[in-house]
């Protein structure tokens, strides 16, 4: 099955700086890569996703890039704000349509 590795496990940035979270996947047939944000005690919620036929996607302050050759994808958050503090999970959907999540990154935006 698919194996998704996520780094770093914790990330602290100053308010206004950028944050980057990276994930690698193992199944070259994986074709869908979402990112979920989970605030403490709340449900995971989709913030952005990308399909394998696209190299980059942007939505206001967040963007995702995908390198299919290297089998890695990254989440970029610019102009970070305190409300961006949360746990972020990457995921990859493999050829069996199973969605496998990474282990998460605790992002802390310092005021």
Partner 1 sequence: EAGVVQSPRYKIIEKKQPVAFWCNPISGHNTLYWYLQNLGQGPELLIRYENEEAVDDSQLPKDRFSAERLKGVDSTLKIQPAELGDSAVYLCASSPREDGGELFFGEGSRLTVL
Return residues touching partner 1 (CB under 8 A): 4, 6, 32, 34, 42-46, 49, 89, 91, 93, 96-104
Task: Measure the CA–CA gap between 88 and 32, rounded to whole angstroms.
Answer: 17
DSSP for 33-50? Answer: EEEEEE-TTS--EEEEEE
Distance in Å, CB of 82 to partner 1, minimum: 21
Distance in Å, CB of 16 to partner 1, minimum: 27
Question: CB-wise, 4 or 75, nearer to partner 1?
Answer: 4
Question: CB-wise, 33 or 80, nearer to partner 1?
Answer: 33
CB 4 within 8 A of CB 23: yes
Distance in Å, CB of 20 to partner 1, minimum: 18
Q: What torsion do the CA atoms of 8, 12, 13, 14 make, to the nearest 10 degrees?
A: 180
Question: CB-wise, 87 or 109, nearer to partner 1?
Answer: 87
Backbone angles phi, psi at 83, to 5 degrees: -70, -5
Question: CB-wise, 67 or 98, nearer to partner 1?
Answer: 98
């Amino acid at each position: 099955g698919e194996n998704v590795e996520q780094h770093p496990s914790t990330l602290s940035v100053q308010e206004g700086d950028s944050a980057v979270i990276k994930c690698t996947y193992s199944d070259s047939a994986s074709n869908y890569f979402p990112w979920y944000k989970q605030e403490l005690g709340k449900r995971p919620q989709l913030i952005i996703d990308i399909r394998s036929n696209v190299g980059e996607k942007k939505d206001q302050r967040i963007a995702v890039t995908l390198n299919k050759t290297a089998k890695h994808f990254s989440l970029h958050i610019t102009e970070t704000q305190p409300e961006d503090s949360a746990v972020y999970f990457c995921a990859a959907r493999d050829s069996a349509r199973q969605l496998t999540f990474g282990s998460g990154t605790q992002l802390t935006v310092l005021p």
